[in-house]
Amino acid sequence: MGHSQVRLLSAARTVLAHLHEALELQFGFELWDGSLIPENAPADGLRIAISEAALTRLLRRPGIKTVIDLYSTADIDPRGGTIFEFAEKRPKVKGREVRKRLSKRLLLKNALPLLRGVRSNPESRQEDGNDAGKGADRSSGSRKDDIAFHYDVSNDFYRLFLDPKMVYTCAYFTDWDNDLATAQTDKLDMICRKLRLKPGDRMLDIGCGWGALICHAAEHYGVTAVGVTLAEEQLKLARENIAARNLEDKVSVELIDYRHMDGKFDKISSIGMFEAVGLDNYDNYFQSVHRLLKPRGLYLHHAITRRGKKDLKAFRRKKPEYQALVRYIFPGGEVDHIGWTLTNLEAHGFEVHDVEAWREHYARTTRLWAENLMQVKDAAIAEVGSQKYRLWLAYLCGVSLGFHRGTIGIFQTVTSKRTKGPSGMPPTRKHLYRR
């Protein structure tokens, strides 16, 4: 080991030991030579393994993007437990107290060896997010390549951690102990009841995924259903599923933008696709839904939200974590707040009948997805590679924690296309909770 490497290793040990003590961390560190911090930490305990390049890169370019890059290439590698377990052990010391406890003299003294250290791991290759849409015109809304980046990863990859029907949206738990398959079936049925589906209805599902909802609606409620998607891999499998269930005369899926759809529908659903529309394209979106819906037809809007701010300017500011999610997982993705959702619905000719928060349902759903994915790690890596596996796992864990803590939310909103006079809705919600 050369002199510079010895200095780098010594500086890393000193800095990490100081951080461990000052922040009262409940997990340790494992350096690239196998040494542990603190030295008496159990070899199989909760720890973060750090490569020779990691600290240098973090010092040169601190921020969430660098952390994600390092995690995706395993230059930062949580060991001895899951991301959820590390989250439970997160530092209790925060903000100003952190700055008070840290020794600036110690950190500065050891900064130079770290800054001069190895800048990258030659065996690692960073897999960046989708840059195809950078600088592109998003004035019309969802971009096909943005959608494909996430949903066309691999049908076999999603099959590894989703339920048997491959429903990739928030499940509905009538009991928190229900398994994922039960909760997703209950979700599909709840949507159908909220839409008051009945035989003879013509239904449109915008962003239909692999077709689970439209197949359920046709089989159990007798509707004729059309799904639209921009993901070619989803289209192929959705059509295979429809054929396997002998529903070709009742259900169809088209590779088409919803704005280019013609005709009129009795019921329209949008389950987890609104996030791809973009904040500046809401008028176009709601105008399209309004145009396609018959008078007093029902529209169910299911979308993730962020907390509202004092004004729109403040709301549009995106935290680094949000920017990272968009860059690596959901290019082009943006979410509004529930107040903005309701304002837009009313402004575009809809009457709001019911709003229901599903935040804790999605916290549970994404946690089960993450746990499923961890159980099939080897198969997932074989399908999409180590970096994409790690990115998706970090995304699912991070989103689950966000919903659990209440930093993000999700709502289902039932509306009708407004006309004068009675709405035709029942006087109570009994029809939603018939079981």
In this structure, what CATH number is given to the domain that contains residue 264? 3.40.50.150
pLDDT digits (tens, 9 = 90+) for 342-355: 999 999 999 999 99
Q: What is the pLDDT of residue 134?
A: 44
405 in the same domain as 259: yes
pTM of the model: 0.88
For residues 23 and 101, the answer to whether their CB atoms sit within 8 Å is yes
Count of domains for the chain: 2
pLDDT digits (tens, 9 = 90+) for 115-134: 887 666 544 545 555 444 44
What is d(CA 179, CA 102) in angstroms, rounded to the nearest whole number?
A: 45
Domain coverage including residue 346: 144-432
Average pLDDT, the chain: 89
237 in the same domain as 365: yes
Closest among 208, 199, 128 to 165, alpha carbons compared: 208
223 in the same domain as 110: no
Q: Is the peptide bond before 38 cis (omega within 30 degrees of 0)?
A: yes
What is d(CA 259, CA 276) in angstroms, rounded to the nearest whole number?
A: 14
Residue 137 forms part of a structural domain: no
Q: What is the pLDDT of residue 132?
A: 40
217 in the same domain as 69: no
64 in the same domain as 160: no
What does the pLDDT average to over 80-106?
A: 88
Cα angle at 269 between 265 and 335, to 5 degrees? 135
For residues 172 and 362, the answer to whether their CB atoms sit within 8 Å is no
Report residue 409: phi and psi, to 5°.
-135, 180
158 in the same domain as 110: no
Report residue 176: phi and psi, to 5°.
-65, -15
Alpha helices by DSSP H, 170-319: 180-194, 212-221, 232-244, 282-292, 312-316
pLDDT digits (tens, 9 = 90+) for 378-434: 999 999 999 999 999 998 998 999 899 998 999 999 999 999 999 999 999 888 876
Sign of the Cα pseudo-torsion (248, 250, 255, 256, in order)? positive
99 in the same domain as 224: no
In the numeric block, the tokens 């969802």 are attached to 142
Residue 285 forms part of a structural domain: yes
363 in the same domain as 224: yes
pLDDT over 70 (residue 263): yes
Q: Are strands 224-229 and 293-306 parallel, antiparallel or unpaired?
A: unpaired
Q: Which residues, including other chains, have CB under 8 Å from residue 234's CB and lie 6 or more apart?
A: 151, 152, 155, 208, 209, 210
DSSP designation for 398:
H
Residue 308 forms part of a structural domain: yes
Residue 332 forms part of a structural domain: yes
pLDDT over 60 (residue 100): yes
Q: What is the pLDDT of residue 32?
A: 94
Domain boundary at 98, 115, 132, which?
Answer: 115
Kindly list the distances between the CA atom of residue 180 and the CA atoms of 106, 163, 361, 366, 404, in Å, as whole numbers in the listed order: 50, 6, 11, 10, 17
In the numeric block, the tokens 């030295």 are attached to 39
What is d(CA 369, CA 408) in angstroms, rounded to the nearest whole number?
A: 18
Q: What is the pLDDT of residue 431?
A: 80
384 in the same domain as 237: yes
Least confident of 133-142, 291-300, 311-320: 133-142
Confidence class for position 139, pLDDT limits 50, 70, 90: very low
312 in the same domain as 241: yes
For residues 223 and 202, the answer to whether their CB atoms sit within 8 Å is yes
Total length of the chain: 435
pLDDT over 80 (residue 91): yes
What does the pLDDT average to over 283-308?
A: 96
Q: What is the pLDDT of residue 2?
A: 66
Strand partners, 318: none
Two tokens, residue 277:
């529309």
Q: Which residues, including other chains, have CB under 8 Å from residue 178's CB and lie 6 or more apart?
A: 186
* DSSP, residue by residue, 296-309: EEEEEEEEEEE---
Question: Hey, which bits of 246-292 come out as E strands?
Answer: 251-255, 265-271
Domain boundary at 115, 132, 167, which?
Answer: 115
pLDDT over 90 (residue 292): yes
For residues 46 and 27, the answer to whether their CB atoms sit within 8 Å is yes
For residues 62 and 119, the answer to whether their CB atoms sit within 8 Å is no
Least confident of 7-16, 94-103, 351-360: 94-103
Question: Hey, which bits of 194-276 come out as E strands?
Answer: 202-206, 224-229, 251-255, 265-271
Question: Hey, which bits of 74-229 come out as E strands?
Answer: 76-79, 202-206, 224-229
174 in the same domain as 95: no
Two tokens, residue 52:
């020779």
DSSP designation for 174:
S
Two tokens, residue 352:
């709001």
What is d(CA 147, CA 332) in angstroms, rounded to the nearest whole number?
A: 9
pLDDT over 50 (residue 21): yes
Please give the share of the chain, as a percent, with pLDDT higher than 90: 67
Look at 240 and 131; give whichever has higher pLDDT.
240
pLDDT digits (tens, 9 = 90+) for 33-47: 999 999 998 989 999
What is d(CA 171, CA 167) in angstroms, rounded to the nearest whole number?
A: 8
Closest among 408, 406, 404, 377 to 393, alpha carbons compared: 377
